[in-house]
Chain A
Amino acid sequence: MRSLKRLHHVLIGAALLALAVAPARAADPGLTDNEITIGLFGPLSGPLIGYGLDPLNAAKMLYEEANRQGGIQGRKIKLVVEDDKCTPNDLVAVVKKLTTVDKVFLLHGGSCTAAVAAAQDFVNREKIPMVMLNAAGDNAVFPPTPYVFGSFQATQRVYGSALASFAAQQLKAKRAAIIVHDDDYGNANLKTAKAVLERAGVQVVAEERIPPNISDITAPMLKVRAAKPDVILSGAYPAPAVLIAQKYAEYGMTDIPLLQATQGIPSPSTFAKNVGNPDALKNFYHTWSFTDIGDAAIHDKYIKLYKSYYPDREPTAFFVTGLPSAFMVIAALEKAGKELTRESFVKALEQTRVKPDVMAGELAFGPNRRDALRDVIVVRFDGVKQTVMPGVYTWNGTDGM
């Protein structure tokens, strides 16, 4: 009897021991059977709040819509929201906090490329997927790394290529002047534009790299004027973009088409008001990644949705830039299915292709591709009316590399 009891104890002891040392079913952090935790971040304070607040709200809105419709494969999305101020130091701190303290399943955020690039090594080391919010992302997606996905409103390479292609093909320009900032965005934009222009046989007659916080645009514009271009390409930020348009009108150059990349006009109506001179915009074009500008129904649909979630806030036109990344995350989560892991999510991202109604081009990744959008449209803007120009301008993946 006693030996049986002893055997009984030994067996129970062994079973307990086995349970204790057997590895727990290793589920990824931030994931339960009915919840996915996403770390959402962007500039919610500081000088670049205009690039982040509305887009982040837009992304949040899409997640909450998904929850309202029952979640994704039975799981609801839980958000942890942080402010990264668009600076490298803060973004790295936020990413590390979300990953190691809040233990989110995936990271979704970042409106500034340099800040995102600072966190890249950590994200790849931790093997946690990071999907950028609306950063152009050039330095963080070229060369591609396994866990960092981005460029949902197109890289600077795409803008540079689009403006250059439009100038060469549609405007039949022969002499181009390029104005960019002397920062990472400007470098990427310039290199790509020059590659495309050269191939098309267009001569670059002036190349001006200006400081991002320039307040007096006289000198560069004088040089551009002296070079007698028949098209001007600009990658300037909002304030200098206005100055360029104003000065070019002041110097009587408005017969020359002026082409501006998206980052200079987060809000076309404000841009027009700031320029304050309809004559300056009689030959003005800009890139855009979304269809809302040409399709009033789509525009109204999303504005209404935004207002329903944030009734006290009047969004800038830039809010749409927060949509594509959220669409992509939701689509990939759906595709990864019930057996969701970080690895299966990454795989799903690589295989998912979506073209939401608000996008002008398709969002896609690939085994060696981490920039989502390579097509943009060009819009003519006279200060009041937006007219979408025919054609979609696609970056070929090699120019500017």
Chain B
Amino acid sequence: MYGPLARRSLILVAAILAAGFVLPLCVPVYFLYLANVLMMYAVLAIGLDLLLGWSGQFAFAHIAFFGIGIYGTALFDLRLGLPFVIGMPLAAALAGLIGWIIAIPSTRLRTVYLALATYAFAECAQWAFRTFDRITGGPDGLRIRPANVLGYATGTDPAALPVVAAILCLMLLATLYLMRSRLGRHFAAIRDSEHVAAACGIAVKRTKIAGFVLSAIYAGVAGGMYTLYESFVNPDVLGVAQLVLVLTMVVVGGPGSILGVLLGVVLIGLLPEVLRAAPRGLLVWQEFFYGAILVLAVMFMPRGLWGVIEERLRARPTASRRAPSSTSSASLRSEATQP
């Protein structure tokens, strides 16, 4: 995990990029739409995992930064005429900035209070998007103009997919790099034990804040991706249900590992679509189903589905050599101690 980038990680990234260019040529728009949505969720979920799985912080503000990303990118284009390549990074930076402002007081709080405070912030943000309708269009929603990426017009699913895939690949590479950097190691350290980390000379508070900011930036980028293939946004997309969905993806897939999160995104993201084929009498059971999955996953798969798969792979006698500090204790961790 540490050390030079594993070849298979690069192959994965290349495969995603290739899919982004090849799929639009041979697959109906519906599946391209699903691909766009899943890739966007991947960035969103990895961002949440940075905070939840990597740094062990139980923060729920993610969805607010997602909103800043969507509305920011769309409004920079609509009101200020800023093209996507400027507007999106700007919106992501804005999300990061607000993340920083929120992080400073929040990192003082213990796990559950942090959860509540960040949840409250997310609700306040949704309310703000709904109320300041002169800027955001309010509940009537905002029509998003098809983005123009360096002269290439997106706006339809086939046109957007290559760009969306490219952005996902960039973010994946960034994450892989982050995992190997000093900051990444600091995240893991404070997740396992803040006291020990502090004793080793790690600036705990600053690391936590960095986690917040980075996670917010990821959410902002995901918001920008949203504007590439959707034509409309309204504040309902920033609600609790969305947050729980992303949380489920991380928890079920495998917190603390990129592959796990991607697995969770694919499974949970495709689940509603797969359920469309279910007999109609079963449709009304969906919510129950989701709740049960969440409870069961957290009960029996502490490291997610990916953790289970990894264990199976490792149990095989001819298991491939693994890097020494792999995620053997990558279960979701709370801050065990104050402050």
Note whether A and B contact each other (Cβ less than 8 A): yes
Which A residues are within 8 Å of any B CB, using their own CB?
44-46, 49, 81-83, 87-90, 92-94, 96-97, 99-101, 114, 117-118, 120-122, 125, 139, 182-184, 186-187
| B34 CB contacts on chain A under 8 angstroms | 93
- Within the complex, which residue of B131, B138, B234, B272 is in contact with A90, where a contact is CB–CB below 8 Å? B272
Q: Are A88 and B232 neighbours in the complex by a CB distance under 8 Å?
A: yes
- Within the complex, which residue of A92, A99, A184 is in contact with B139, where a contact is CB–CB below 8 Å? A184
Q: Are B287 and A101 neighbours in the complex by a CB distance under 8 Å?
A: no
Tell me the bound Cα distance from A184 to B272 in angstroms: 27
Q: Are B280 and A44 neighbours in the complex by a CB distance under 8 Å?
A: yes
Q: Are B284 and A114 neighbours in the complex by a CB distance under 8 Å?
A: no
Per-position contact with A for B13-41: 1 when CB-CB < 8 Å, else 0?
00000000000000011110110010000
Q: Nearest CB to that of B131 among chain A residues?
A: A182
Q: Knowing A45-B286, A184-B140, say if A122 contacts B272 (CB, 8 Å).
A: no
Tell me the bound Cα distance from A89 to B41 in angstroms: 13
Given A83-B283, A93-B33, A184-B141, 12 extra CB contacts under 8 A: A45-B283, A46-B286, A89-B237, A92-B33, A96-B30, A100-B28, A118-B231, A121-B232, A184-B139, A187-B138, A187-B139, A187-B140
Q: Whole-angstrom distance from the CB of A313 to the nearest CB of chain B?
A: 12
| Beta-carbon contacts under 8 Å, B132-168 to A | 138-141, 143, 155-157
B335 within 8 A of A: no
B130 within 8 A of A: yes
Number of interface residues of B (CB under 8 A): 31
Q: Whole-angstrom distance from the CB of A99 to the nearest CB of chain B?
A: 7
| B231 CB contacts on chain A under 8 angstroms | 118, 120-122
- Within the complex, which residue of A82, A101, A120 is in contact with B28, where a contact is CB–CB below 8 Å? A101
Q: Are A96 and B141 neighbours in the complex by a CB distance under 8 Å?
A: no
B322 within 8 A of A: no
| B287 CB contacts on chain A under 8 angstroms | 45-46
Q: Are A114 and B283 neighbours in the complex by a CB distance under 8 Å?
A: no
Q: Whole-angstrom distance from the CB of B274 to the nearest CB of chain A?
A: 12
| B155 CB contacts on chain A under 8 angstroms | 121
Per-position contact with A for B149-191: 1 when CB-CB < 8 Å, else 0?
0000001110000000000000000000000000000000000
Q: Nearest CB to that of B282 among chain A residues?
A: A45
Name 27 interchain pairs, CB-CB below 8 A, sorted by A.
Answer: A44-B280, A45-B283, A45-B287, A83-B276, A87-B236, A90-B272, A93-B30, A93-B37, A94-B276, A96-B33, A96-B157, A97-B273, A97-B276, A99-B30, A100-B28, A101-B30, A101-B31, A114-B139, A117-B232, A125-B156, A182-B138, A183-B139, A184-B138, A184-B140, A184-B141, A184-B234, A187-B140
Tell me the bound Cα distance from A35 to B28 in angstroms: 23
| Beta-carbon contacts under 8 Å, B230-252 to A | 230-232, 234, 236-237
Tell me the bound Cα distance from A49 to B287 in angstroms: 13
